[in-house]
């Protein structure tokens, strides 16, 4: 807790007309967020202002990122602005943030539903490259853990086009490397503002957000040797690698291939169905049997 209340500052700003989010949020070149005056602050204020004032009373929001460049700066701004927003008794009460700001999109969704948060802000541009010359994005997931519906994105855009000011606590400093609760006494606020930094794995790879999960699952839970988990330190530019490890971008990770007649290549999304239909040809399953099959979005109808 701070010895003296942290001041809340209102900053005059000019609206931008290009801050219309899609279901995956607002996505631009990183340079746009870095170089345009108040571009980040304007959009964050638009997101916060789109939440009904009555719903903000003591509410909880979740914040996470995929660790790409500019995420740490943006996370600090989000904390400062979330603390400042709301009336004396109607402020956002708590933020839950991943350790070092890292939380995958599914993890944010899970935490939102688990703690009944009002929503979550995710700093990611999905499969787009990171770094100063890469992309940056801001998504707002609603209380059901899913992406914002059109009614929410339209409201955010409407606010962004007429925004004249934003509220911020520029002197508020948060240590994202320290797990646990941190409380801040704010000027003219009824209750302290709380930030909880949580373990991104307990709360529920390339060199991006999945690194901590890979280490925990493969090495700690399954007992694989440490060298089985590679590229597990989140890097702001993803180590120069493509953020989507597919057949094209991560050929070293492809360990099997199914070929049909005349060299016909079976797509990975169909491979589980092909294996299911030919289990007797696979020595392991011929000896050990099989308990069942697992569907995924790409294989949803293939098993049928």
Residues tagged active-site: 126
| Count of residues making up the chain | 304
Distance CA 194, CA 190 (A): 12
CB atoms within 10 A of CB 30: 22
CB-based contact 129:243 (threshold 8 Å)? yes
Distance CA 29, CA 27 (A): 7
Nearest to 244 by CA among 121, 130, 114, 80: 130
94-102 and 193-198 as β-strands: parallel, antiparallel, unpaired?
Answer: parallel
Angle at CA of residue 141, ends 19 and 112, nearest 5° = 150
Angle at CA of residue 240, ends 237 and 244, nearest 5° = 85
Nearest to 92 by CA among 115, 119, 68: 119
3-state secondary structure of 27: strand
Rg value, the chain, Cα: 22
């Amino acid at each position: 807790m701070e010895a003296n209340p942290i001041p809340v500052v209102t900053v005059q700003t000019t609206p931008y007309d290009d801050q219309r989010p899609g279901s995956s949020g607002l996505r631009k070149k990183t340079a746009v967020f870095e170089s345009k005056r108040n571009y980040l602050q304007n959009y964050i204020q638009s997101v916060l202002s789109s939440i009904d004032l009555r719903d903000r009373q003591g509410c909880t929001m979740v914040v996470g990122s995929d660790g790409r460049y500019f995420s740490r700066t943006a996370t600090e701004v989000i904390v400062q602005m979330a603390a400042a927003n709301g009336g004396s008794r109607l402020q956002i009460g708590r933020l839950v943030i991943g350790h070092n700001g890292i939380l995958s999109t599914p993890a944010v969704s899970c935490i939102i539903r688990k703690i009944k948060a009002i929503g979550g802000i995710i700093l990611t541009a999905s499969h787009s490259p990171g770094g100063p010359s890469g992309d940056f994005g801001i998504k707002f997931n609603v209380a059901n853990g899913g992406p914002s519906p059109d009614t929410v994105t339209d409201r955010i855009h409407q606010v962004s086009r007429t925004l004249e000011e934003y509220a911020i606590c520029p002197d508020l400093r948060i240590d994202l490397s320290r797990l646990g609760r941190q409380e801040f006494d704010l000027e003219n606020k009824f209750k302290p503002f709380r930030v909880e930094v949580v373990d991104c794995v307990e709360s529920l790879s390339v060199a991006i957000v999945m690194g901590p999960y890979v280490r925990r699952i493969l090495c700690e839970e399954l007992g694989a040797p440490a060298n089985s988990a590679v590229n597990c330190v989140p890097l702001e530019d993803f180590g120069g690698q493509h953020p989507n490890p597919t057949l094209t971008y991560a050929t070293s990770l492809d360990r099997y291939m199914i070929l049909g007649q005349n060299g016909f290549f079976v797509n990975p999304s169909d491979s589980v169905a092909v294996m299911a239909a030919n289990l007797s040809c696979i020595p392991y399953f011929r000896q050990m049997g099989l308990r069942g099959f697992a569907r995924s979005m790409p294989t949803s109808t293939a098993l049928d």
